[in-house]
Structure 1
Amino acid sequence: MPDALRTEERIGTRRTLTEEVMEKVQQMVRRGELRADELYSVYQLAEALGISRSPVRDGLLKLEAAGLVAFERNRGFRVTVPSARQIVEIFAIRIALEPPAAARVAARRDPEVTARLRETMTAMEKAAAASDEPAFWAHDQAFHDTILTAAGNSQAAAVVRDLRERTRLIGPGTTKAARSLPAVAAEHRPVLDAIAAGDGKTAHDDMRAHLEATGRLLSAQTEGVPPADAAIEALWTEIIG
């Protein structure tokens, strides 16, 4: 485990230690401090985070249940990330669920839902401006979750939450070669505007555009190629069309 892991950051008190460990591991993977398929020990991670091994193990067990880490008996754990194909398959499911949900929410024109989305959008933009990644992705998830739930399908919301966990460890598509947090936030604004205007078709299309942009970046990022790479384009055509 690199020396960069010996950070001065310490676990906060706003969330449980287990939740903080999960977030810290995800951040460390995105920064390249934990690398896929290398073997690490729970003791090393606990020492790097400055907390006891019990909550570290609990956090890793939750990440294992989501398919994001793998334990090796009496040896430690490895970070696992989905392949480019798996990422495209994940986004194929999200595209099947989320754009129609946005269209349904727009058609209903519920002022309370619109107000919640506006509040979340504002919080997301503030977090982006402050480069507060944990807060930003929490608001991002809340935005998508609100739309899915308001569309009347709580099971779809749960499915999408699980799918998002499968892609979080490889990064959110905000590398230097991809998008900044403000750029990602900006992709949500047209969806909100269309919902507020009761424009179902535009809400559908803008949500799909946002998901495709994210999915293409993440699948390309996994392969270390540009989003316009022919192999990535072939995967999207094969799986999504």
Structure 2
Amino acid sequence: MSNMLLVPALSLPSEAPSLADAVAQAVRDGVAAGELVPDRTYSVYQLADLLGVSRSPVREGMLRLAEAGLVEIRRNRGFRVLLPHAHDVEEIVEIRLALEPPAARKAALRGTPEEHAAIRDALDAMAAAAGSGDETAFWPADRALHDLLLRAAGNGRAAAIVARLRSTTALLGPPTTAGGRTLAEIHAEHEPVVAAVLARDGEAAEAAMRAHLEATGSLLVARLRTPG
């Protein structure tokens, strides 16, 4: 039996490119917030009612999540959330390491003054959110910074890939729970990346991004491999 009545707060993001994308993001957000849990089967019909949309975009959104390995479709029953395992996170980090450090180098060397200003502003937004302990503002700024770096490198496809990969690890909950890192500590890992980019030091930017991703990946994998 579905337990959707135990999920009081899911909402559609306004910035999604399509209704199916919005549904998929609402489910991701619900899982990350602990409102959708892996040990229950959720009905497409009830999810549609909860989000105030028709069943068609819900089904399409679930199919996209299933293709990404984030949910399991249960025929005539609904869907079940699948949390990533340690090996999944290792694969995700490996892909990000292949994409983001070289992109940081290119962003440093090729980024326009306007792109560099946007990158600096994203880091400033992270600093402000960390200073006030505002996680709801911190993580969008974090995602924006990584996205801006990839796009400043001229690789919009890589930016889209990384956004999807981050959606998977987001299902594990806020990264502050991995190894007990604070928002200030996570912000501090990004500072040398941005400093190098703004100084147009490609080698340092690449090295700093690699160090950040390796640290984050190690903490996430260690958390998943720790019993309980």
TM-score, normalisation: structure 1: 0.76
Is 1:150–2:152 an aligned residue pair?
yes
Matched to 2:52, the amino acid is I
Matched to 1:131, the amino acid is D
Alpha-carbon distance between aligned partners in 2 of 1:131 and 1:83, rounded to the nearest angstrom: 28
Q: CA deviation at 1:63?
A: 2.2
Alpha-carbon distance between aligned partners in 1 of 2:182 and 2:7, rounded to the nearest angstrom: 24
Shift in alpha-carbon separation, 1:24–1:6, aligned structure 2, 3 A: same
Q: Cα RMSD between the aligned structures?
A: 3.0
**Conservation of the 8 A alpha-carbon contact between 1:91 and 1:212:** yes
Alpha-carbon distance between aligned partners in 2 of 1:148 and 1:96, rounded to the nearest angstrom: 12
Structure 1: give runs of 5+ residues left out of the alignment.
227-241
Structure 2: give runs of 5+ residues left out of the alignment.
none
Select the residue among 203, 206, 211 that pairs with 1:204: 206
Alpha-carbon distance between aligned partners in 2 of 1:113 and 1:204, rounded to the nearest angstrom: 17
**Conservation of the 8 A alpha-carbon contact between 1:37 and 1:80:** no
**Conservation of the 8 A alpha-carbon contact between 1:2 and 1:33:** no
Alpha-carbon distance between aligned partners in 2 of 1:122 and 1:50, rounded to the nearest angstrom: 34
Shift in alpha-carbon separation, 1:107–1:52, aligned structure 2, 3 A: closer
Shift in alpha-carbon separation, 1:50–1:166, aligned structure 2, 3 A: closer
**Conservation of the 8 A alpha-carbon contact between 1:178 and 1:217:** no
TM-score, normalisation: structure 2: 0.79
Matched to 1:155, the amino acid is R
Q: CA deviation at 1:207?
A: 0.7
Matched to 1:179, the amino acid is R
**Conservation of the 8 A alpha-carbon contact between 2:110 and 2:152:** no
Partner of 1:23: 25
**Conservation of the 8 A alpha-carbon contact between 1:172 and 1:218:** no
List per-residue Cα deviations over 1:144-202 (Å, max 9, x = no partner).
12222222333333332332233222224222753344433332222111111222232
Shift in alpha-carbon separation, 1:26–1:184, aligned structure 2, 3 A: farther
Does the residue aligned with 2:189 lie in a helix, a strand or coil?
helix
Matched to 1:174, the amino acid is T
Shift in alpha-carbon separation, 1:159–1:28, aligned structure 2, 3 A: closer
Partner of 1:175: 177
Select the residue among 69, 72, 96 that pairs with 1:70: 72
Partner of 2:86: 84
Partner of 2:52: 51
Q: CA deviation at 1:77?
A: 0.3
- More moved, 14-23 vs 29-38: 14-23
Aligned residues: 223
Matched to 1:32, the amino acid is G
Select the residue among 114, 129, 134 that pairs with 1:131: 134
